[in-house]
Amino acid sequence: MRVVNLISVCVLACVSAQVLAQDDATVDSLMNQFRIQEVEVTARLRNEPVVPAQRLEGDRLAALSSQSVADAIRYFSGVQIKDYGGVGGMKTVDMRSMGSNHLGVFYDGLEIGNAQNGVVDLGKFSAENLEEVALYNGQKSEIFQSAKDFGSAGTLYLRTRRPKFENGKNYHIVATMKAGTFGLANPSLLYEQKLTETIHLSANAEYTYANGRYHFNIHRVYPNGTVAWDTTGIRQNGDIQAFRAEAGLFGYLPDGKWHVKGYYYQSERGIPRAIVRNVWTSDQRQWDRNAFVQGNFTKTIFENYDFSVSAKYSNDYMRYLNPDTTLLYIDNKFLQQEVYLSVANRYSVFKWWDLSLSADYQLNWLKSNMKGFVHPLRHSGYLALATDFHYKWIRAQASVLGTFIKDITDDYTSDTKYNFTPAVFLSYQLLLHEQLYLRAFYKQTYRMPTFNDLYYTDVGNINLNPEKATQYDGGIEYTKRLSIVSDALKYMQFRIKADGYFNQIHDKIVAVPKGNSQYRWMMMNIGYVEIRGCDINAGLDFDFSHDVHWSIAGTYTFQKAQDFTNAKDTITYGGQISYIPWHSCSATSNLSWRGWTLNYSFIYVGERYHNSANIPANREQPWYTHDVSVNKLINFKGWKMSAGIEINNLLNQQYAVILNYPMPGINGKAILKFIL
């Protein structure tokens, strides 16, 4: 293509030079002499990802009724959210039934760690400052990344916005106020400043308050059809006060970039109890304080060599209080700290073949006021070697990750545990002129037991083996854009992705009763799970005349996740594992016209069981919700204002994601935003 363009430019330059010196007749003669036929050049898209991500970004992310990250990713296929209700309720994510511990969550390129229990509460992360949320099955289609990026069965990437400035402006300010039901008050402020042409500053802060009081109705039915209990009331002890602040510097270099970010979050919230037999009052409280500083430097050293270094320090404090002395008075405090360093290198052997080598080191330690706590410290090392091959219609990636773990406690030092996990990803473009791809991947992952699994007082088991997972995936993707010459419709784009998968988890870590007591538990490796399923994603985009744009998208997931732990247990053996529905789906629609936007979203979760014993007593009813919102953007001279209204659970369905934890009925909020 470059050669054709260069020849064309040279020919036209020669013609132009002679035209200036000739009369009209000579001009016509020369133009006929040098006229060439139209040349069409086609090439395959080299940078198509091997395994594409599910993404929410920009206006589409902002259009969803999402108070937190967990609210946003409900619209992805293959995802189950465990939500304990309300603005302040804990929210964790499970992808393809692998378990929350097998999903890596990355914030601006660095993983959010939790060595204590391995679970990231996505309810703590606001969607207000996010520019993109991307979910990858297997791993990101990129070999120039940290070694830890290769280590999870799936990865969720949260990318905050980098500073952007309109022409002639050196600053950007966004002030937002959200107010709604359950006493919600949620102001936030974003400030961006261009310090120099190559260094930009971004700072934002957000405060959230909600009393968490919402009406609910919950009932349980015995297998014979009689009502066990039917409770109507107001949710208690679901209040939250939270403050979040972030600040970052972003620098741009010739053939490189860097950034440094600081993050702080603190909250106090009530922990509402399960609704059982008309009892729902609770005095349990939780305090959280999370802070980290992280940075990255990336540069192209030579034409075919790239280098990146990342570092992070995090400090996480949590206090849990249960003042109910009739059961057991608990006032536990935990302080978790982490130091992390990563170096990544990429070398292009040829234009169609890249190699990468990444090395990470991580240090975690945990302190607590619990009696008998052993104060664990963990050294973790990761080494990843990967390759990326892309030639014409084929793209392939392969990697192997080495994981090395050593724990030290007050009275115990473990041997160094190590494991090597391979992965292979393939993508094949079927047609030269069409974006039609076949893809497949195979991957192994290795999850170390958490500090709680191993060392929690009177519960942990230091003899636990790591969980091992194996993934097989095959899929197809097709995208078609049609340019339509019409007064009404300018273009239409259609896209569809479908994947079938089979996952295995060995040595699954579960909690089991200790001895004959149902009040004392310990962790054991007794689990084996097989997961079969398929994900389908489809969407249509229409661009009409008169500034009308309409997009619709939908997802569908089927999963058969079976517990094959104990063949002697005829009740649980082969049963669908807890809280995994066989069928689930979602749909979103966005209609925009000259500053007006109308959004609709729908989520359906089918029948499931809260225990691997798939008996009528453990059955959970399907549920669904409808959400709508409308927004208007008004332009003034030098600034803008946006006003909107959201209504969630429009039909006021009474449902629970987790047994006996009722979710809110119909609710809403108003949003006012000023942009300078």
What pLDDT score was predicted for residue 145? Answer: 94
Reported as a pLDDT band with limits 50, 70 and 90, residue 53 is confident
Q: Which of 28-42, 76-90, 447-461, 512-526 has the highest mean pLDDT?
A: 447-461
Above 50 in pLDDT, residue 36?
no
Model confidence at 295: pLDDT above 50: yes
Q: What does the pLDDT read at residue 511?
A: 67
The whole-number pLDDT of residue 210 equals 94
Whole-number Å distance between alpha carbons of 379 and 421: 19
| Mean pLDDT of the region 48-61 | 79
Query: 235-248 pLDDT, tens per residue?
Result: 888 899 999 999 99
Alpha carbon 526 to its chain's center: 29
- Higher-confidence residue of 248 and 43: namely 248
| Cβ within 8 Å of residue 23, ≥6 positions away | none
Residue 321: how many CA atoms within 13 Å on its side-chain side? 11
**Residue-wise pLDDT tens digits, 567-598:** 888 888 999 988 899 999 999 999 999 989 99
pLDDT at 57: 80
**Mean of pLDDT values over 52-75:** 76
pLDDT at 614 over 80: yes
pLDDT one-digit tens code per residue, 160-184: 888 888 877 899 999 999 999 999 9
Most confident residue range from 4-18, 113-127, 294-308:
294-308
With helix as H, strand as E and coil as C, how does 142-179 read?
Answer: CCCCCHHHHCCCEEEEEEECCCCCCCCCCEEEEEEEEE
**pLDDT higher than 70, residue 33:** no
Q: Which amino acid is at 400?
A: V
For the ranges 222-231, 520-529, 557-566, the one whose mean pLDDT is highest: 557-566
Q: Give the tens place of pLDDT for each residue, 311-369.
A: 999 999 999 998 887 777 889 999 999 999 999 999 999 999 999 999 999 999 999 99
pLDDT of 570: 86
Q: Say whether pLDDT at 226 is over 70.
A: yes
Among candidates 662, 618, 650, 669, which has minimal Cα distance to 223?
618
Stronger pLDDT, 61 or 290, i.e. the higher one? 290
Q: Where are the beta strands (DSSP E) in 2-86?
A: 54-57, 79-83
Burial class for 95, CB neighbours closer than 10 Å (0-12, 13-18, 19+): buried
Average pLDDT over residues 661-665: 89
By C-alpha distance, which of 137, 53, 133, 58 is closest to 551? 58
The whole-number pLDDT of residue 433 equals 80
Q: At 23, is the pLDDT very low, low, confident or very high (cuts 50, 70, 90)? A: very low
pLDDT score recorded for residue 120: 84
- Render pLDDT for 400-416 as a digit per residue (tens, 0 to 9): 999 999 999 998 898 89
pLDDT at 510 > cutoff 50: yes
Percent of the chain clearing pLDDT 90 (strictly above): 50
Residue 431 in this model has a pLDDT that exceeds 90: no
Q: How many CA atoms lie within 13 A of 449 on its CB side?
A: 25
323-333 burial string, b = 16+ CB within 10 Å, else e? eeeeeeeeeee
Tell me the sheet residues that pair with 348: 354
Higher-scoring residue by pLDDT: 69, 268: 268
The C-alpha atoms of residue 150 and residue 84 are separated, in whole angstroms, by 31
Predicted confidence (pLDDT) at residue 272 exceeds the cutoff of 50: yes
DSSP secondary structure letters along 209-266 = EE----EEEEEEE-TTS-EEEEEEEE--S--EEEEEEEEEEEEEETTEEEEEEEEEEE
pLDDT of 43:
37
Would you place residue 485 in the very low, low, confident or very high pLDDT band (cuts 50, 70, 90)? low
Is the pLDDT at 9 greater than 70? The verdict is no
* CA angle at 119 for the pair 118 and 123, rounded to the nearest 5°: 155
| Residue 51 pLDDT | 80
pLDDT score, position 513: 55
pLDDT band at residue 205, thresholds of 50, 70 and 90?
very high
pLDDT digits (tens, 9 = 90+) for 120-138: 888 778 777 888 889 998 8
Q: Please give the pLDDT value at position 403.
A: 96
Across the strands, what pairs with 356? 346, 386
